[in-house]
Structures are given as C-alpha cells and as structure tokens.
Structure 1
C-alpha cells in the first residue's frame, strides 16, 4: 500500500509499504480521507512527538472496513466508519474514567504510532465506530477534531446563557464557536489576528468578533456587563494568550486550556487571587470514547456547518505540498488528504 512517512521534521517520503493484516481483535480500514490537524503541523515541524519519527502521521481519518479479524463481532465489511485513535490498556484507573491520555500504556494513532496518511490501517475493533451511509467522507473526517471540542465543552461544563470568549478563530476555534452556539452559550466572543477568520467565526455563530487586540478587553467587558467572561477557551497555544485569558474571565470564571504550547512553557498564576476569585483552570486536548460518538451524532444531524472545512483537498501524492503551504492558506480552515 501507499503511505506518507514523515522521515524527519519537514520531510515526507511517499513509500510502498506492506499492507497490515488485522489481528484477531482488529479491523482493517481502507482510508478515504485524513484531515491535517494542528498537532500534525507541530509534528511536521519537529515541535511534538519527534521521538516517534519515522512515522506515518494522521489521526483525523475515515474510511470503510476492508477486513475483520476472526474474533470481531458486530461490524461488517464495507461499513463506513470513524475511529477513536486513543488506545489505552482498558484496565487502569484512568481508562475506567475515560481519561485515556493519562493511561501509562497510552498510544495514539498518528502521534505515537503509525496513523492515517496511508491507504490502510489496522486498528482495535473496539475503537471502530460505524457511521451513517449518507454522511460524506469529507464530513466524517471532521469527527475527531469535533470530538476534541466536545470534550473541552464537557470539561468546562458549558451551559446555556454563559458568556464565552474563544481565543483563536482557526479551525478548532470555529468549531468551538459552533458547538457553543448549539449548547446555547451567550454571548460568544471570538478573537483572532486574521479578520477573515474572525468573519468566518461570526458567520458560524459568534456574537462578537475582534481582530484588533487593542479592542479585545473593551469588547469583552461591554458584552458581559463589566464582569469578564464566564469561560475563556484558549485554542491557539500561546503563553501570552493564556496570561491574557486570566484577566478576561470574571471572578469565579473558568479557563479551558486547549491550545498546545511548547514543552516547559508556564503560566504565572497568582495563588491568592485564584483562591479569592474562585477561578479555575482545566486542560483538555483530545476527544475519546463518548466524545467521538457525540461528535458523530452532531455531524450526522447537521448541527455543524462543515462547508468551510472541506474546500482544501490534496491527493496523498501531494502531501508534502499540503504541509509546506499550510501556513500560507489561512482561508482554508481544514485541509484533507484524499486517498485514491
């Protein structure tokens, strides 16, 4: 089969490699599409998971079941599927709580092991989620990133009529806005240095959009009665934005830490202020388990505007170009690699 192997930061090698055979408890997936995630960009530039290289990246994939291991029941060859790409031991404290990323034996397809920039992948059948036949593959490939957003909202306990500030209007920021609108959060404020991405986020459901950093604090305070936002979601991964988030949430507010920073970067926190203001911080990065099922349901029932995410497509043969030009295409909220 064909596979795009990231041999070192910045360099893909399109190779012919052996097609995997599914083990007794595995399913072989013929991949249709795989989205490029911000995490993939970090891996591509050597900022994350460098010790996993050489590797086939890609974890936002969808496809059809090509073959099943002898012990697999409940799945059928030819079914369209998505896959929960986080593999835990299923036995430990964290796995029992659906906190797979904390499992001591945790592995992630496309991040710590080979993933979806290939024609086929063999995966544990228990992580395969059948998808509706009438949902296009370009939409199904959004299940994993939406699941990450679902989990963040769940961790932050977002509910109706809460004010939420989203820092960053990229693909994930846009999905945050759309999910917040579906939940009933209000008002929703979004900010980004790109006016085009802010405009897309407002079209997606934000009540206020800010592209001038000098106007952000005034906008947030005016929209929240001078209190600050109930919840601030940092979806960029910049320490300065995390620090700013602390000043823009209200007393008793919550910071949802979502954007990946570099290793070792820190956020200064005034402990006394945190106690007296009763503020909180909670991290969240990957969707898993119920998050994947919920995201698929939302996509299948049209709760997310997917058109802005499905315009940029590259064949597997052009994956190097897709990654090299990624930063030059801010108008493309999502890029998908299409298998033959």
Structure 2
C-alpha cells in the first residue's frame, strides 16, 4: 500500500509498505477522506513539541471496513467508520477512571505514533465508531474535530439557556459555537478578526463580533447585557486571546481553554483569583463525544459543507499544507481525497 511519510518538516514522501496482518481484535480499513487540522500544520512547520520525524500523519478520517478479526463484533465489513486516534496505556489513574483522553502515556496517531495517511490501515476495533450509511466520507472525517467541540462544551457542564462567547472563528471555534447552539445555549457569539471567517460563521447561523473593528467587551454587553457571558471558550491558543477571555469574563464565570498553545502564555492570575474565575482545560475527547457528534450531525444541527474550503488528492498531500500556509484564514477545512 502507499503511505505518505513526512520525513522532515515540510517534506512528504510516498512509500510502498506492506499492509499489516489483522489480529483477532483488529480491523483493516480502506481510507476514504482525511482532514488537515492546525496541529498537523505545527508538525509541517517543525513546531509541534511532541512530534518527531519521520511521522505518518492523518487523524481526522473516514474509512470503509474491508476486513475484521475473528473477535470483532462492533463493526462489520462494508461499514463506514471513523477512528478515535488515541493510544492509551489503560493502567494510569485517568485511564482507570474513565478519563483516558488524559492518559499519562497518551500517544496520538499522526503525532507520537503512526497516523492513517495511507491507502489501508489496521487498527484495534474498539477505536472504530460506525457512521450512518448515508453520511458522506467528508462528513465522516469531520466527526473527529466535532468531537473536540462536543467535549469542550461538555467541560462547561449544562449550557442550556446560557450565553456563550467563543474567541476564534477557525474550524474548531466554529464547531464549538455550533455545538453550543445545538446543545441548547440561549445565545452564542464568535469573536474573530478575519472577515472571511466571520462570514463563514454567519452562514453557519452564528452571530459574530468583528474583533478588528469592534470593541469586544462592548459588543458582548450590547448582545448579552451587563451580565455578559456565562461561558467563554478560548479557541485560538495565543496569549492575546486567553487574556481577553480573562479580562472580559464576568466575575465568577467560567473560561474553557480549547486552543492549543504553542508558546507559554502569561496571564493575570491575580485577576483570575480576585474575580473567582474558573479556568478549565479541554483535551481531545472520549467515545461518548464521538457518539454525540454523530447524533448532532444526524439531527441536522451541524453545518459542515460551509467549512470545507479546499480538496486535494492523496498524492498531492503537500499541497494541502501549502494552501493553508498561503491562504491562511480563507482555508478552513482542507480535505484529502483518497480516491
């Protein structure tokens, strides 16, 4: 089978490698669609702190089951599936308390262990989640980033009837906003600098704040009243926006940190203490988040197509990174087509 291997930052080679044999508890899948995310871009730039080279990427995927091991019961040949890309130890405190996304030995396919950027992939069956037969391959690959959003919203607790601000209108910020709305938030605002991403958010039914030309705090108050937001989701991962979240939060409210910080953030912890703010981290997802994500899509509550801005063929994998680097905010979701 053909496998895309990033041998060093910015360089992908295609090698012909054997397809692994399927063990009794495993399945073989034929890859159909792969999404490229921000963390992949960090790897392409050589700036991901937990990835070494060579590495096979690919963790936002959809695939067809083509072979099942003798002990597999959760999926069958012909099923559409997506894959949870976490590899966990199963023995540490988080793993033994249902929090395996926080595994002390966590490895993620495409970063610390082999990803799915290949024609076929063999994986433990318990990492596969069946998708509806009528779900498109692209939508199936987007279940993974939607599960990130579902997990983040669940970290806040019951958001039904609450007022939500999302800082950052990229793919994850957009999906967090859509998820919050779908799960019963009373009102949701996205704050974003990019006119294009603001337009995308509006097409997805989310109200926006033009952070380049509007005062964010004044806009929050204008939309939500003097009590501001109940929850703020930071979905960019930079010093500026986490400090905005802290500054604009109502006393006693909650900030959920979803963005991945490449650099050390310096925040006003005195302000956090004095305003009794809750800072919650949100890391990846668990199986229940995938199940809820599939449910939300089935119910027609999530808009995916507006987020897909570019498509490239598997053999043009590097072009996906070039598009994102060159077009930046106008490249929302770039999808790798396997066929």
Q: CA deviation at 1:335?
A: 0.7
Q: CA deviation at 1:240?
A: 1.4
Distance in 2 (CA, whole Å) between partners of 1:186 and 1:196 is 25
Deviations 1:155-204 (A, max 9, x none): 01251221211111111111112112112223322111111211221232
Q: Secondary structure at the match of 1:48?
A: coil
Q: Secondary structure at the match of 1:302?
A: coil
Distance in 2 (CA, whole Å) between partners of 1:155 and 1:256 is 7
What is the RMSD computed on CA atoms of the aligned residues? 1.8
Deviations 1:195-241 (A, max 9, x none): 12112212322233324255212101222322332111111111111
Q: Is 1:241 paired with 2:241? A: yes
Does the 8 Å contact 1:149/1:172 carry over to 2? yes
Q: Secondary structure at the match of 1:129?
A: strand
Q: Is 1:152 paired with 2:143? A: no
Distance in 1 (CA, whole Å) between partners of 2:182 and 2:291 is 17
Report matched runs for 1:53-202 at 5 Å: 53-202=53-202
Q: CA deviation at 1:263?
A: 4.6
More displaced stretch, 249-258 vs 309-318: 309-318
Q: CA deviation at 1:324?
A: 1.5
Distance in 2 (CA, whole Å) between partners of 1:322 and 1:188 is 31
Does the 8 Å contact 1:34/1:141 carry over to 2? yes
Q: Is 1:310 paired with 2:308? A: yes
Q: Secondary structure at the match of 2:215?
A: helix
Match of residue 230 from structure 1? 230
More displaced stretch, 329-338 vs 208-217: 208-217
Q: CA deviation at 1:118?
A: 1.1
Match of residue 216 from structure 2? 216
Match of residue 326 from structure 1? 324
Deviations 1:30-68 (A, max 9, x none): 110110011111111111155432111110001011212
Does the 8 Å contact 2:231/2:254 carry over to 1? yes
Match of residue 282 from structure 2? 284
TM-score normalized by structure 1?
0.94
Distance in 2 (CA, whole Å) between partners of 1:30 and 1:290 is 24
Distance in 2 (CA, whole Å) between partners of 1:121 and 1:168 is 34
Distance in 2 (CA, whole Å) between partners of 1:213 and 1:50 is 37
Does the 8 Å contact 1:198/1:211 carry over to 2? no
Deviations 1:99-146 (A, max 9, x none): 223323322111211112111111111111111111111111111000
Unaligned runs of 5+ in 1: none
Q: Secondary structure at the match of 2:253?
A: strand
Q: CA deviation at 1:256?
A: 0.6
Distance in 2 (CA, whole Å) between partners of 1:213 and 1:155 is 31
Does the 8 Å contact 1:145/1:172 carry over to 2? yes
Match of residue 269 from structure 2? 269
Q: Secondary structure at the match of 2:251?
A: strand
Match of residue 334 from structure 2? 335
More displaced stretch, 215-224 vs 136-145: 215-224
Aligned length: 338
Q: Secondary structure at the match of 1:82?
A: strand
Distance in 2 (CA, whole Å) between partners of 1:130 and 1:238 is 35
Distance in 2 (CA, whole Å) between partners of 1:269 and 1:117 is 41
Q: In the superposition, relative to structure 1, how do residues 195 and 299 fare at CA in structure 2: closer, same or farther (>3 Å)? A: same
Q: Secondary structure at the match of 2:201?
A: helix
